[in-house]
Structure 1
Amino acid sequence: MSLILDVRALSKGFTMHHLGTRVDAFHDVSFVLQAGEFLLLKGRNGAGKSTLLRTLYRSYLAASGQILFHSSHGEIDLVRAADVDVTFLRRTEIGFVTQFLVARPRVSAEALVAEPLQRAGRAPAEALDEARHWLQAFGVKRDLWPAYPTTFSGGEQQKVNLARALILPQRLLLLDEPTASLDASARAALIDRLADLKSQGTAMIGVFHHPGDVAALIDREIDLTPDQIPEQTQNMAEDMERTDVVV
């Protein structure tokens, strides 16, 4: 196996200006991740699981430490990388699956799902056929494919989100509660797709409310729950976990 990610002494916190204090989301986290490995993040609410994923994706800037990503172009520290390089890697090698779909108005579900393939150089017609395949696999009703996802229910939006996020294999895939709002058949389709990507060498880091859904895929676990954490700090950390949005 080849090394994909080397995280060294990574820390992240938030300054609560109205309280004049700082809250640590997580502190001194280190681990390595190989191609085809699945790492589960554990910990009670507010332990920093989602915040760690967003820091790895560079939606948040780390307070300290390194995120050494072994891209197809060489090693790059995502903590210090230029925004243009991070944007390029997000489009080509690093995927993020969240439970929320941010859909552009007046863009159809099938066009939204096909977009990553077209960006990667696939012909429009071929990309559209592949998009329809994955919309069907995740259980999106056929008559909704040309419709706008902004009009869909939460569950249907999540299926579109999964189809778009997982249509193009990546070197690194970050998963933040992707089974939320999914019915049983969509969850089964998700697990099948993750297993397929894992067999192709995609490295994954995930947060799951019900980790039993992916038990067969998990290689290692990291528990982010601190040994001791004051109740007030815990409550503020939970608030940050609930309100932060990936951009």
Structure 2
Amino acid sequence: MTRILEVRALSKGFDMHHLGASMQAFEAISLTLDASEFLLLKGRNGAGKSTLLRTLYRSYLAQSGEILFHSSHGVIDLARAADVDITLLRRTEIGFVTQFLQARPRVSAEALVAEPLRLAGWTAEAALDEARHWLDAFGVKRTLWPAYPATFSGGEQQKVNLARALILPQRLLLLDEPTASLDASARAALIDRLAALKAQGTAMIGVFHHPGDVAQLIDRTIDLTPDTTPDTPQQEDRTDVVV
């Protein structure tokens, strides 16, 4: 198998200055991830699941440890890489899907979804056609395609968010509760898209409130609950996927 990610003794905490205290989100996490592998993170609220995803994406800086990403340019430690390198990898090889859309003012839904393709070198017409295809696949009403997502409902915003985040295959995909606010048809479209990306070699790490939605995609599970994992995260078979 092609190795995509190696996380070694990764720790992250936060200083709460107003309380004069610190809080440890997770400590000494180690894991590996191969191409076409889907890893589910589970654990009680506050176990550090979303924080771990954001640390891997480098939205948060790690306190210690390594995040060795096997990019198309070679192995790079995301915990220490320069911001310019992180920006390039986010644009071309690492995707992050959350339950929240960061819509920009006066940018239409179709233009927002097409943007990753434009940045990847697609022509404006081809990118727009592909964006419309995925907006339709996720169930966004055609009348909304030229409208501004900032005016949409939460569910419609999430559909736009998914279409944008998943339109371009990535080497590594991080998923933070992507099924939140989705109706049944949009969840089905999401699962189909994730299955297709997985078959193409995309490695995925995900947090799902209802992991049954993606049970058929999960290869391994890691439990971040501190009292069950004092030293290293507990890995389970896909048959034990519960929250």
Partner amino acid, structure 1, of 2:17? H
Q: Percent identity?
A: 83
**Structure-2 separation of matches of 1:148 and 1:177:** 23
Cα deviation, residue 18, structure 1: 1.3
Question: Secondary structure at 2:23's aligned position in 1?
Answer: strand
User: 2:119 corresponds to which residue?
Assistant: 119
Tell me the TM-score normalised to structure 2 length. Answer: 0.93
Partner amino acid, structure 1, of 2:78? L
Partner amino acid, structure 2, of 1:86? I
- Tell me the alpha carbon deviations over residues 54-78 of structure 1, each in whole angstroms, 9 at most, x when there is no partner: 0000000000000000000000000
**Structure-2 separation of matches of 1:163 and 1:18:** 39
**Structure-2 separation of matches of 1:118 and 1:140:** 21
Task: Please identify runs of 4+ aligned residues in structure 1 that moved more than 2 A.
Answer: none
**Structure-2 separation of matches of 1:113 and 1:173:** 17
Q: 1:217 to 1:228 in 2, by over 3 A?
A: closer
Stretch moving more, 16-25 or 93-102: 16-25
User: 1:244 corresponds to which residue?
Assistant: none
**Structure-1 separation of matches of 2:115 and 2:156:** 18
Partner amino acid, structure 2, of 1:137? A
User: 1:240 corresponds to which residue?
Assistant: none
- Tell me the alpha carbon deviations over residues 24-79 of structure 1, each in whole angstroms, 9 at most, x when there is no partner: 00000000000000000000000000000000000000000000000000000000
Which ranges in structure 1 are unaligned for 5 or more consecutive residues? Answer: 230-247
Q: How does 1:14-163 map to 2 (within 5 A)?
A: 14-163=14-163
Partner amino acid, structure 2, of 1:122? W
Cα deviation, residue 228, structure 1: 7.4
Tell me the TM-score normalised to structure 1 length. Answer: 0.92
Partner amino acid, structure 2, of 1:13? G
Question: Secondary structure at 1:178's aligned position in 2?
Answer: coil
**Structure-2 separation of matches of 1:124 and 1:194:** 25
Partner amino acid, structure 2, of 1:44? R
Partner amino acid, structure 2, of 1:160? V
Length, aligned pairs only: 229
**Structure-2 separation of matches of 1:123 and 1:200:** 23
Q: 1:224 to 1:122 in 2, by over 3 A?
A: same
Cα deviation, residue 153, structure 1: 0.3
Question: Secondary structure at 1:28's aligned position in 2?
Answer: strand
> CA-atom RMSD, angstroms?
0.9
Partner amino acid, structure 1, of 2:35? A
User: 1:174 corresponds to which residue?
Assistant: 174
User: 1:245 corresponds to which residue?
Assistant: none
Which ranges in structure 2 are unaligned for 5 or more consecutive residues? Answer: 230-243
- Tell me the alpha carbon deviations over residues 192-213 of structure 1, each in whole angstroms, 9 at most, x when there is no partner: 0000000000000000000000
